[in-house]
Structure 1
Amino acid sequence: IRPWKNVLEDIQQGNNRLKWKDRAPYAYWRGNPTVAPTRKDLLNCNFTHYWKTTTRLYTQDWKVESAQGYRQSKLQDQCTHKYKIYIQGWAWSVSEKYILACNSMVLYVRSAYHDFFSRGMSPLQHYWPIRDNTKCSSLKYAVEWGNNHTQEAQSIGEAGSRYVFQEMKMEFVYDYMFHLLTEYAKLLRFKPTVPPGAVEVSPETMACHQNGTYRKFMMESLVRSPSDSVPCNLPPAFDSNELRDFWDGNDKSIKRVEAWEDEYWRTHPKPNLGS
């Protein structure tokens, strides 16, 4: 995968090639299902025509893809559906930010893990929440809702994408890393020292022994000069009331979606096909 700044530029080109209204009205996912039981469970939504009317799920064999030069896995070529599914892997998945960047309404399968940026997002604003224990019916309802509320679905997709492009620029990521390490250092109860025999590592020494694509991408991501501005100011931490209000708001949005979904299935009984 190319450096983040370059990938964002590629995905933006993909977004420009196919506007949301012209995209396929299905929920799309491509990935490796073997890394987690929840992903294997997702593939059950591929096995009956009833669920497949709203989902398009594809298994990614990375060994085959590597041998073929990654022609079928270019991120900018995967912004072709109105809805994209995010689902965790062993833990959080690096795919989250790429999926969000596509301008598609992200169908976010409930996860036990969070990326460093995901806590700043809210359901129904940046993504649509999907139940983990009834994925197929939850995904089907989400797509049905989106296809009947196209303006709202498009707005959610664009808000998630805008969050990635505006709030996750590399300079902001570096600011976050700076503040994270600074605050972490304040918690240390010892004075760090360089252990005997330690070897200093720099970007140059990491890249110089690499060849081919690895070296190319390392050199593309190399920061060649310090920033000409100071890091952003760290905003004050939420107090307990603010934090509770934020989480309560997110919880209410999720429960609202689940109530809509429950009502839908009460009036649209599904066949006995599993979840």
Structure 2
Amino acid sequence: MATMSSSSRSRRVQSTLALILAIFVAFAFITRWIDLFIVTGSLLQKKLHLLNNTPQLHSSDFDCSLNCSDIPSFTTTTNLVFNSSAAPSCPDYFRWIHEDLSPWKGAGIAREIVEAAKSVANVRITIVDGRLYVVKYKKAFQTRDSITLWGLLQLLKLYPGRVPDLDLMFEFGDKTVIHKNEYGRNASLPPPVFHYCSDESSYDIVFPDWSFWGWPEVNIKPWEELKEELKEANERIKWIDREPYAYWKGNARLGPRKDLIKCNASNGQDWKARIYDTTWAEEKKQGFNNSDLASQCTHRYKIYVEGVSWSVSQKYIAACDSMTLVIKPHYYDFFTRALLPSVHYWPIGERDKCRAIKSAVEWGNAHSDKAREIGQAGSRFVQESLAMKNIYDYSFHVLNKYAKLLKYKPTVPEGAVEMCSETLVCATKGRRKRFMKHSAVRSPGDSPPCMLPPSYEPRGLLNLLERKRNLTNQVQLWEEQERR
């Protein structure tokens, strides 16, 4: 009996030990699982946070069965509480907003002044209570009108309840339309017209162009997507390993570009330029296989030259890390006035441009560190200062400042048609629809617009212009020293 009792106790001890071991193993497993859940859950939360707080994302949630009137207006501000004083300052080029609106600073803008631009504008755009209405006066080139309206609708979605009621005219063409010589000292106020570009002899109010949301006709992707591809291209081929020539590709049958084609090597003369004429109709037939912008970051130098007027290509050219050779422009857009010669680009005079291009290339190859520095500074400017958040913030601030100048309460004009994202997405297909979806703002932003810097003091503006002249003169001096 004693033996049996001892054996029984032994079995019970073994069972107890086995049970304790099993509990320990189970506890360890559960603890490990909980830790893993916490870690992966935390990562998942971080990913969801990024998704929910990134305005530039794919968004396919468009209900084509709805009319604009069925969709709530963008009048309700986000539930997030913003500390506006903690918002970062906007890039310096925002300061030009004050200058562009200065003609109307004293007298303000009356309704009749706005309506005086009917004969030159493509459309009238009115925003009332967060809803956008359009009166069309004339047809725009390609889809510039619908893509620009798309960008404005995304702005309303990004900053709901913050875009004020306003009433404005917009021109979608290349040439400026409000010329200063038509409005002398004794003339009436010029009508305010928003436009993609302006020049020193015009009053056109510059605004971000349509291509930031994509240019479907020539297969140029929305900027936020394309600039990442350009950044990757810069990593693939470093500056020092690129072709030591100046590169340009585009439609060479416009304006000053007709002369640029002469800078190709010919008759035994090599101007150190490689110029390629592009026919977009042929490119389209070939599926745009030869016009991919990210595959064109292969030369140490790239040329920017205007076409009919300014060109949307300057940001693509500058983003390549190549030193940009800018043939003296006559027009500016909303950001280019902040670019400095010999800092962000190399200035090229209009006269004898082939020889100037050759001199710039030879100087850059002899001073590769400095040339690479200029190229990277220009690239960094467009990659960072032209982030889509800044594009929306610039749009917000120029519209907000403009609205404050209005001397009347905007109302929906007779004959106006309401536009919404669904109107535009559901009315198109193919590449156009894909680009709209890729550039759609999917939720309100989680931060306020950047802080608009003050206007230039008169002396400060003169100093800036003088600095640009001095930097340009310095480049000319470097070229002369190199030729000796």
| TM bucket normalised to smaller | over 0.9
TM, length-normalised to structure 2? 0.53
Distance (Å, rounded) in 2 between the aligned partners of 1:138 and 1:49: 18
Distance (Å, rounded) in 1 between the aligned partners of 2:280 and 2:227: 22
Q: Of the candidates 285, 292, 305, which is equivalent to residue 87 of structure 1?
A: 305
Corresponding position of 1:270: none
Corresponding position of 1:72: 290
Distance (Å, rounded) in 1 between the aligned partners of 2:317 and 2:349: 18
Cα deviation digits, residues 15-49 of structure 1 (max 9, x gap): 1110101000000000101121x100111112525
Deviation at 1:188, TM superposition (A): 2.2
More helix by share: 1
Distance (Å, rounded) in 2 between the aligned partners of 1:53 and 1:247: 31
Partner secondary structure for residue 412 of structure 2:
coil
Deviation at 1:261, TM superposition (A): 2.9
Distance (Å, rounded) in 2 between the aligned partners of 1:219 and 1:213: 10
Distance (Å, rounded) in 2 between the aligned partners of 1:31 and 1:246: 32
Distance (Å, rounded) in 2 between the aligned partners of 1:158 and 1:49: 34
**In the alignment, structure 1 residue 162 sits paired with structure 2 residue 380:** yes
Deviation at 1:53, TM superposition (A): 4.7
Correspondence 1:14-33 to 2 at 5 A:
14-33=233-252
Q: Of the candidates 407, 421, 426, which is equivalent to residue 208 of structure 1?
A: 426
Letter in 2 for 1:169: A
Partner secondary structure for residue 34 of structure 1:
coil
Corresponding position of 2:253: 34
- 8 Å Cα contact 1:32-1:61 kept in structure 2: yes
Return 5+ residue gaps in structure 2 as ranges: 1-219
Distance (Å, rounded) in 2 between the aligned partners of 1:141 and 1:49: 19
Corresponding position of 2:461: 243
- 8 Å Cα contact 1:110-1:132 kept in structure 2: yes
Partner secondary structure for residue 452 of structure 2:
coil
Equivalent pairs: percent with the same residue?
A: 47
Sort the Cα spacing of 1:127 and 1:196 in 2 relative to 1 into closer, same or farther, 3 A: same
Q: Of the candidates 223, 229, 239, which is equivalent to residue 4 of structure 1?
A: 223
Q: For this pair of structures, how many residues does the alignment match?
A: 265
Partner secondary structure for residue 229 of structure 1:
coil
Partner secondary structure for residue 35 of structure 1:
coil
Sort the Cα spacing of 1:50 and 1:244 in 2 relative to 1 into closer, same or farther, 3 A: farther
Partner secondary structure for residue 33 of structure 1:
coil
Return 5+ residue gaps in structure 1 as ranges: 268-275
Corresponding position of 1:229: 447
Partner secondary structure for residue 234 of structure 1:
coil
| Aligned-residue CA RMSD (Å) | 1.3
Corresponding position of 1:271: none
Deviation at 1:181, TM superposition (A): 0.5
Q: Of the candidates 386, 392, 412, which is equivalent to residue 174 of structure 1?
A: 392
Deviation at 1:189, TM superposition (A): 3.0
TM, length-normalised to structure 1? 0.93
- 8 Å Cα contact 1:51-1:137 kept in structure 2: no
Sort the Cα spacing of 1:49 and 1:166 in 2 relative to 1 into closer, same or farther, 3 A: farther
Deviation at 1:197, TM superposition (A): 3.2
Partner secondary structure for residue 164 of structure 1:
helix
- 8 Å Cα contact 2:303-2:326 kept in structure 1: yes
Sort the Cα spacing of 1:226 and 1:50 in 2 relative to 1 into closer, same or farther, 3 A: farther
Distance (Å, rounded) in 1 between the aligned partners of 2:475 and 2:321: 21
Letter in 2 for 1:232: C
Corresponding position of 1:105: 323
Letter in 1 for 2:312: V
Partner secondary structure for residue 248 of structure 2:
strand
Distance (Å, rounded) in 2 between the aligned partners of 1:237 and 1:50: 52
Deviation at 1:262, TM superposition (A): 4.1
- 8 Å Cα contact 2:363-2:479 kept in structure 1: no
Larger RCO, structure (CA 8 Å, separation 6 or more): 2
**In the alignment, structure 1 residue 188 sits paired with structure 2 residue 188:** no
Corresponding position of 1:260: 478
Corresponding position of 1:116: 334
Distance (Å, rounded) in 2 between the aligned partners of 1:210 and 1:77: 29
Letter in 1 for 2:388: M
